[in-house]
Amino acid sequence: MKVSTILDSIDNGYVALPEFQRGYVWNREQVRQLMDSLYRNHPVGSLLVWVTRSDGAEARGDQLLPAGVVKLLLDGQQRITTLYGVIRGEPPRFFDGNPKAFLDLYFHLEDEVFEFYGPVKMRQDPLWISVTELMRNDAVAFWDQLAEHPELKDKLGEYMKRMNAITNIKERTFHVDEITGGDKTVDVVVEIFNRVNSGGTKLSKGDLALAKICAEWPQAREEMQRRLKKWRDWGYDFKLDWLLRTVNTTVTGEALFTALKDVTPAEFQQGLNRAEAHIDTLLNLISSRLGLDHDRVLGSRYSIPLMARYLEQRGGKLHDHEKRDRLLYWYIHTLLWGRYAGSTESVLNQDLGAIEENDGALDRLIGRLRQQRGDLRLQPNDFLGWSRGARFYPLLYMLSRVFGAKDWGTGLELKSGLLGHLSSLQLHHIFPKAMLYREGYNRPEVNALANFTFLTQETNLAISDRDPAEYLPEIAKKFPGALESHWMPMDPALWEIDRYLDFLAERRRLLAEAGNRFLQNLYHGAVPESEAPSAVSVAAAEPLPSIPGSIDSDEELSELVSLFDWVVRQGLPEGELEYELVDPETGNPLAVLDLAWPAGLQPGLSEPVAVLIDETPETEVAANHSGFRFFTDPESFRAYVRTEIIPGHDEAAD
């Protein structure tokens, strides 16, 4: 079938994209290579289509399928979408991806190379011609443009041949293999798809499960994305697979996506509505009761599918406040100990089995945690972690919220009305970083959790990098009880720089005592009181291993967020700030990566990548051993994106 015929067939709906196909994932280099191969008449492979009745077919996009049969592209989507975009100058109606990947492609008539438009390089050179303009018109349309340059006169004939070679790509014939027959169900076709795409991007289990639903309810993916956007607007960023998992547990009580095979689209739609309501309830509960009011402190997000199932079994309500708090007790411990950091699906399925019988469900869940951890009481050395990526960082934030820690500049409690989301909350180093570095302390000591607390932005700026031996007595005098509300050691001798390590040890003890008191209050259904913790001794424990990696400052965080936003503006996927790298078998944390794309910037096609700013060799080794390509500064990462992910990118567009 000729390329021009295929594109016309896409326009009239005779060739379409099946609903289960992923979106467009090619980058500019792949586009350039395809066009170069076609120009030089190199083989570029055949196509595979599924010929099925249009009245039962579910295709991507909003085009109406003609009566009779339709050909759904199984293998060749990236190539055909590229050709459509380059030749038509716009994406096809079924398009889902980054159109920058194929727009503004140019060809140099002398060097015979394809590149994407760059004004500095191309504006003054008449030999650079737009491939799309050439495809829309023909070579004759460029004759007058070239004839204006006398120095090109002797080569006009050769240039015309080269332009004709490009326009003739529309007449290139692709061999098309067809899958036909009434026995070809979605399951069979998706299995064929995965086999022929063994070198490309396979469908995940979640994709396959959603494909079956979309085959009969085409709006499923759009409806799920709408709900994800709502939660993003609330400050919580979830993935499509996570929502699908929650719908699955809500409807079937199972974690494995295969459980959705017998769920009808109507049942799925109703389950999505109930799962949304359960998630809303849980986010409101976690935010109001625990103070975890934004994405960076949420943690253990794969506990939510289980808690949604728990709500589902009880009609969506938590009428018993004691069981409600005990459920939160369980949630916090899954956060602290990385319950779902490793083999999420299998562990979640086991935990779901533990709650199928209503009587004693929470006791069984908590019992499984005890099997994993032994004693669930917090120990001072549990707070030996450092950086905002440490698992106990959300607990520190949580304690500040639920115990009503007081701002050191106003004496007011740091409740939700003051803190809000990340933009109105600042992390404060009690002992300033600059002072500690001058005294020879290392990064884990400087950024120890026990040196962190939370203050309003105004107060944090006012304190700045003052010596705690100077500013802490002032706060103690002006706002009695304010320091104690942050579990501060009240022996002034510990506020001296030469007693810093003793200060950390004492504050870890106070934090462990406060954490245990709050967790016990939850376990027994008692409302936490807004009072300072007492100095109760806690038994020593073996230190937890220090997890390398951190974002050390607001300046570094701002730099990473700027890089995050830049990547998104290129039409590439969002990265993950402070990505916890875990051992896939044990779930134990290995390192915290500042900014990471674990599936690559072109998911399924490019390698995992991370940005590590001023990190230790241990962090770099952990990233390398886990298959990440990493960059140690934003500019080298940007150069990688421009040259290997979107070659020919115009820097002025940034």
How much is the pLDDT for 390?
Answer: 66
Q: Is pLDDT at 587 greater than 50 in this prediction?
A: yes
Q: Is pLDDT at 418 greater than 60 in this prediction?
A: no
CA–CA gap between residue 385 and residue 397 (Å, rounded): 14
Q: Is pLDDT at 609 greater than 70 in this prediction?
A: yes
pLDDT over 90, % of the chain: 36
Q: Averaged over 489-516, what is the pLDDT?
A: 95
Among the residues of 464-610, which ranges form H helices?
468-478, 500-523, 554-569
40-44, 405-409, 412-416: range with lowest mean pLDDT: 412-416
Q: Which tokens sit at 121? A: 């390089």
How much is the pLDDT for 423?
Answer: 34
Residue type, 94: F
Question: Which strands make up the sheet holding 105-108, listed edge to edge?
Answer: 113-116, 105-108, 128-130
Q: Averaged over 460-473, what is the pLDDT?
A: 92
CA–CA gap between residue 389 and residue 591 (Å, rounded): 9
Q: Which of 78-87, 114-123, 608-617, 635-644 has the highest mean pLDDT?
A: 78-87
Q: Is pLDDT at 382 greater than 50 in this prediction?
A: yes
How much is the pLDDT for 537?
Answer: 31
CA–CA gap between residue 127 and residue 532 (Å, rounded): 75
Q: Which residues, 6+ apart, have CB-to-CB distance to 256 below 8 Å?
A: 205, 248, 345, 349
Among the residues of 12-88, which ranges form H helices?
28-39, 77-88
| Mean of all residue pLDDT scores within the chain | 83
Residue pair 104/128 in contact (Cβ under 8 Å)? The answer is: no
CA–CA gap between residue 535 and residue 557 (Å, rounded): 34
CA–CA gap between residue 404 and residue 166 (Å, rounded): 69
CA–CA gap between residue 576 and residue 160 (Å, rounded): 49
CA–CA gap between residue 162 and residue 160 (Å, rounded): 5
SS3 (DSSP) at 595: strand
How much is the pLDDT for 529?
Answer: 34
How much is the pLDDT for 653?
Answer: 43
* pLDDT tens digits for range 211-268: 667 767 878 888 998 999 999 888 888 888 899 999 999 999 999 888 887 888 899 9
The better pLDDT of the pair 317, 418 is held by: 317
121-135, 187-201, 286-300, 316-330: range with lowest mean pLDDT: 187-201
How far is the CA of 309 from the CAs of 271, 302, 317, 599, in angstroms?
11, 12, 11, 29
Q: Averaged over 370-379, what is the pLDDT?
A: 84
pTM, rounded to two decimals: 0.63
* pLDDT tens digits for range 186-211: 656 666 665 665 444 455 666 667 76
* pLDDT tens digits for range 131-178: 999 999 878 878 888 888 888 888 888 999 999 999 999 999 999 988
The better pLDDT of the pair 203, 324 is held by: 324
132-141, 195-204, 482-491, 630-639: range with lowest mean pLDDT: 195-204
CA 175 to chain centre: 38
Produce one character per residue of 452-477: b if its CB has 16 or more CB atoms within 10 Å, e if not: bbbbbeebbeebeeeebeebbeebbe
* pLDDT tens digits for range 142-152: 888 888 888 88
Q: Is pLDDT at 628 greater than 70 in this prediction?
A: yes
User: Which is it for strands 176-179 and 47-53: parallel, antiparallel or unpaired?
Assistant: parallel
